[in-house]
A and B are shown apart, each in its own frame.
Chain A
Amino acid sequence: MLEKKTKIYWLFILPGCLFLAFFMLIPLFSLLFKSFVDEGGRFSLANYFALFESTYFKQVFLRSIRLSLTSTVVCAFLGFPTAYYISKYSKNKGVLMALAVFPMFTSPVIRSFSWMVILGKKGIVNDLLVKSGIVSKPIGLLYNEFSMIVGFIQLFLPLMILSLIGIMDNISEDLNLAAGSLGASRLGTFRHVVLPLSIPGLVTGSVLVFTGCLTAYTTPQLLGGTDTRVLATMIYQQAMSLGDWTQASVVAVVMIVVTIAVSSVINGISRKLNPTI
């Protein structure tokens, strides 16, 4: 009886699986396939060797990782106290959570345009800097790595905050009280109890932010310049502007591998820090 039921319920996930197979797995494998064959149609790693010999690609590759890591670290530092406050101390949790995720309701295009207005030569930031005499003439805040990081942080900070709140809500207040009754100060309680128990949320958040930054296209396209290309914009350039689909596939595969590798490294570190995850 039970077995029969299990078989029927299995059908429920069939539409989703079929959808993913058609629209994700098949394109993905054709991409993989394309990157591993040479012009004659034989298996070859030549495309990869060629890519990694190119100085331009190396620059783009390192820049992508650097920008994504920086954004992830900044999001963690900004997100942790915010999430802790919302989870443990706020009285209007619903309102604050809505505010935290509010940026996600607008499209990345609109957000990027807002940053152009704010960070431009005639924008509010340059205005203030010039008026207060810190700089003599407007400085270039836009179309560089700085503006890209700013865009990334605004885009992905909500994911970090949400991941952390989800975990922090599950830390029982009794644990904090227990630590206190055993002599731990507020700081000690934070260091020995709250922080280690929040690591799973920090990991989920970091993986989401990092992969989000690495694969984002709109933000680097609009807020970055021609000399600050990242992997996602490079794929677009290769495929659409230069028509080199093979090269674009190779870059895409590299991007996927980096994403998976970094996620597993972050997971590994967190397991060391908190063995019960």
Chain B
Amino acid sequence: MALLELQNITAGYDKNVILKDLDFQVEKGELVSLLGSSGCGKTTTLRLIAGFSTPMAGKFMFDGKDYTQVPLNKRNFGFVFQSYALFPHMTVFDNVAFGLKMRRVPQDQMKKEVMEMLETVDLGGFENRFPKEMSGGQRQRVALARALVIKPDLLLLDEPLSNLDAKLRVKMRVEIRRLQQKFGFTAIYVTHDQEECFAISDKVAIMNHGVIEQMDSPSVIYNHPKTEFIARFVGFENFMDLKRTDRDGIYVLSDGSRIQAEGGKSGESFKACIRPEDISIVSDGTDAPNPLTGEVMVSTFLGKRNQYNVRTAIGEFEVSTDQESVYKIGDRVTLSMTPGKIILL
């Protein structure tokens, strides 16, 4: 059974419904990311799990118990805020000790645990500083230490790295992953950064308009998106309309030509997509699969690769290739799509 389970959750403010019949499950020890653009409901979901708000309808089960109405201070969940939310009037030590103080942990033990945790996040010797005397990355680690020292049953992170610069972001996400694997805690991580979330997560749930469109491991999402929204999100730029034929693996394009693709899908007509780097430009007359002729409209030099926008009979295609030969605007070219790289949606 899942450690955490949201069942038919509906939530929002006043008449504004943000989440509709949301179902979501997290297994013990997993790091699951909620990924989506702003306004998709990911933060609402996280705050609901934290107990900052209660759902309008639905049930929140945790470890087999109904947590829907459990007040936030009785949940024993750690929360890391985007703003860090460190107490400005307390030293680093007092910030980290706060949760233990509320739990009436004896003084000696509290001191030991706080110091150990500060060592773990590489902040030994900073215990007497105030938050305003520290850098963004250091504050971030204080916030992590404060949430982790209470040994939370669940760690919730709300875009914890978005206020850091790019280099530090990469460093901190490795750090978070390291801590998560060291302590084995279950965590839910909210972000709008696809790279960050793929790097850190066991599973990714992509949200759109208050609904989870797909929840899978990062590699499954990256290679086999289930919907057009997700395909666009993970870098598929080229979309085609297909119709089924009598033969398995053969489909008809909108201009009547045939295309070969792997994998079956029920239904008569559907969309297919392919990444720019999975299309190659071939010389005429070669026996390449799925040939498609067109005219180069835009040519962009990207350093290692060249990118072309090619107009064909079934629409414009974006192609990214590392071939040495360079094509000019107006050149007639033949594109080839490997059947295995065409994803049916």
Contact = CB atoms under 8 A, between A and B. Distances in A.
A179 B89 contact: no
Nearest to B102: A183
Given A172-B83, A276-B132, A181 B77 contact: yes
B170 interface: no
Contacts of B52: 177, 180
Interface string B195-227: 000000000000000000000000000000000
A196 interface: yes
Given A180-B72, A181-B72, A276-B130, A175 B150 contact: no
Determine chain B's interface SS by DSSP, over half rule.
loop
Interface residues of A, number: 20
Q: Name, among A172, A174, A178, A185, the residue most crowded by chain B CB atoms within 10 Å (CB to CB).
A: A178
A192 to B, nearest CB: 7
A179 B97 CA distance: 11
B156 to A, nearest CB: 8
B85 interface: yes
Contacts of A172: 83, 85
Interface in B67-100: 71-73, 75-79, 81, 83, 85-89, 98-99
Given A182-B150, A192-B98, A177 B72 contact: yes
Interface in A159-201: 172, 174-175, 177-185, 188, 192-193, 196-197
Given A174-B83, A276-B132, A180 B73 contact: yes
Contact of A175 (B72, B87, B130): B87
B171 interface: no
Contacts of A237: none
Nearest to B146: A182
Interface string A110-139: 000000000000000000000000000000
Contacts of A185: 73
A40 interface: no
A274 interface: yes
Contacts of B98: 179, 182, 184, 192
B281 interface: no
Contacts of A180: 51-52, 71-73
Contacts of B103: 183
Nearest to B88: A276
A183 B150 contact: yes
A188 B79 contact: no
B89 A181 contact: no
Nearest to A189: B73
Interface string A8-33: 00000000000000000000000000
B85 A174 contact: yes
Contact of B102 (A184, A196, A197, A276): A184
A264 B160 CA distance: 41
Contacts of B89: 196-197, 274-276
Contacts of A188: 73, 102
B343 to A, nearest CB: 41
B102 to A, nearest CB: 4
Q: Name, among B79, B102, B132, the residue most crowded by chain A CB atoms within 10 Å (CB to CB).
A: B102
Given A180-B72, A181-B73, A183-B76, A193 B102 contact: no
Given A177-B52, A177-B79, A276-B130, A184 B73 contact: yes
Given A184-B102, A188-B102, A178 B85 contact: yes
A275 B72 CA distance: 29
B50 interface: yes
Interface of A: 172, 174-175, 177-185, 188, 192-193, 196-197, 274-276
16 contacts: A172-B83, A174-B81, A175-B87, A178-B79, A178-B146, A180-B73, A181-B75, A182-B98, A182-B102, A182-B146, A183-B73, A183-B102, A183-B103, A183-B150, A192-B98, A274-B89
Closest CB pairs A-B (n = 3) = A182-B99, A183-B102, A174-B85
